[in-house]
Amino acid sequence: MPADLPSARDTSTASPASPAGRLIGVGLGPGDPELLTLKAVRAIESADVVVYHSARHGRSTARQIADPYLREGVVEEQLVYPVTTEDCDDYDAQLAAFYEQCRVRLASHLDAGRTVAVLSLGDPLTYSSYQHLHQRLAAAYDTTVIPGVTSITAAAAAAGVPLVEDTELLTVIPGTLADDSLAAAISSTDAAVVMKLGRTFGRVRDALERAGRLDDAIYVERATMTGERALPARDVNPAEVPYFSVVVLPSRMPRTPAPVAPIGAPVPLGSVTVVGTGPAGAEWLTPEARGVLAAATDLVGYTTYVKRVPVRPWQIRHESDNKVESERAAFALDLARRGRHVAVVSSGDPGVFAMATAVLEVACDEPYLDVPVRVCAGMTAAHAAAARAGAPLGHDYATISLSDRLKPWSVISSRIRAALSADLVVAIYNPASRSRREQVVQLKSLALSLRSPDTPVVVARDVGGPTERVRVLRLEDLPTDEIDMRTLLLVGSSQTRMVTRRPGGEAQVVAWTPRRYPD
């Protein structure tokens, strides 16, 4: 970094004629001295000051690795942590004070024109102690960071497994996360490395089991060091896990689809999970949904929705037309009876005008009563559209589908009238199709007979998709000829407001329904 950046350093020990020194973060690798890079060795050999951390016992693995390269007369600065666990009330305050003291100590050397090399196991900017010094000093001094081999890649090498491949997602997870966050992070990724174990391992193993990934997990201890070992995470005693350990969830890519057992063959019962993928692409998926889709042996669903799911070699994809929900459900349940773990892919939330009901209708018939079925929630279209428009669902609302394929228009129109008469905001799903155009015209007419022409209406098309368009219009201006099956309507109540805001000087129309209703 350039040395002329604004400086907040303490210059009380600096000579006016002394140029500022240089800060170097030196990555030493995961522990094996032979994994030091040539650049790291040269930095250690040429440093005026070598800095390393230790606990109160004074031992430092970093100092031990660097020892052969320390030149005679080099100044050593040992930074001794005041605490090494979070089991104290003022842990954060103690560490903040410690690093401020370290900053002052190192700044005195840098201000005297010395080259200061801070030793860091692994990589200096990956879960390291060096990075706290970097944040406090790098803006004020010429700084170089020498990367090192991380324990992430060292553990994968020790386990002898590919870590991540092709389009897989790799997540690095600290074991110190809260239990729910651990399980969510593990569930939502393809491959992972869980670090910061030691006393957290028991909780990490529980999270792996909760996410259905424990049998995939490999525990690696002291990767590249003396005493290295790798074994299934399920077989590890939590009481014997040291700090230098990680868990690897390796790539699944080499796997090929397992054959489906013949009908009647004796196999363990599988399962069916109906998965909501949200209104559009991957960014709308929940961590739970990502995990279910990644773990399934088979994907079943409407072609358009299945195509949103990344292709994985170990899965079989069964795509079908959008109008065969019952047949699709029975097919998925039959697969589960033959030992498959099936994800039935649904758009939005599967329990809102989607596949969850279709699956449960069939699953409650006698042949399938023993098949495990669960529903994995997703972002429903009404909530996605409301978020884009503001907060039109801020008070009571009703949800109605205009499709008369499964119920008569007389029922639909009576429900719309009841919801409008009750002054509810009304979310309208399936408002129109190529062959079904009259219903949305009748909806507008009915609404105008019970609501003011100025009532705000949200017209949301392809929310989250490449052609997304969300408008807030007056009910009187609702363009019924533009509405199709990719559109969702939110008809406001008498209290719903439509306001033009100007964030950044640009006009933005928002709709919101007050939380309080007048007496």
Lowest model confidence (mean pLDDT) among 316-325, 377-386, 425-434:
316-325
Q: Report the distance separating Cα 9 and Cα 357, nearest Å.
A: 65
Tell me: pLDDT of 4 over 60: no
pLDDT at residue 7, rounded to an integer:
35
**What value does the mean pLDDT take over residues 88-109?**
91
What is the average pLDDT across 38-54? 97
- Phi then psi for residue 453, to 5 deg, are -60, -20
Q: List strands edge to edge, sheet with 115-120.
A: 75-80, 49-54, 115-120, 22-27, 142-146
pLDDT for residue 86? 61
Q: How many CB atoms lie within 10 A of CB 46?
A: 13
The pLDDT, as a whole number, for residue 313 is: 87
Q: What is the pLDDT of residue 415?
A: 97
CATH for 153-249 is 3.30.950.10
For the chain, the domains span 22-149, 153-249, 271-376, 382-512
> Same fold for the domain at 271-376 and the one at 382-512?
no
User: How many whole angstroms separate alpha carbon 24 and alpha carbon 40?
Assistant: 10
Give residue 87's pLDDT band: very low, low, confident or very high (50, 70, 90).
low
The answer to pTM > 0.85 is: no
Confidence category of residue 264, pLDDT binned at 50, 70, 90:
confident
Residue 8's pLDDT band (cuts 50, 70, 90)? very low
pLDDT confidence bin for 1, thresholds 50/70/90: very low
Q: What's residue 11's pLDDT?
A: 35
Give the mean pLDDT of 408-422: 97
pLDDT in tens, 330-360: 999 999 999 999 999 999 999 999 999 999 9
Rounded-to-integer distance, Cα 245 and Cα 193, Å: 10
Q: Which superfamily is assigned to 22-149 in CATH?
A: Tetrapyrrole methylase, N-terminal domain (3.40.1010.10)
CATH number of 271-376: 3.40.1010.10
Span 207-235, mean pLDDT?
Answer: 94
Q: Tell me the DSSP string of 121-171.
A: SB-TTSS-SHHHHHHHHTTTSEEEEE----HHHHHHHHHTS----TT--EE
Placement of tokens 């009563």 in the chain: 369
pLDDT tops 90 at residue 261:
no
Beta strands 497-501; 508-512: pairing state = antiparallel
- pLDDT at position 19 is 79
Stretch 56-84: mean pLDDT: 93
Q: Give buried/exposed letters for 167-188 (b at 16+ CB in 10 A, else e).
A: ebebeebebbbeeeebbbbbbb
12, pLDDT greater than 70: no
The CATH code belonging to domain 382-512 is 3.30.950.10
Residue 67 has pLDDT above 50, yes or no: yes
User: How far, in Å, CA of 213 to CA of 204, rounded?
Assistant: 11
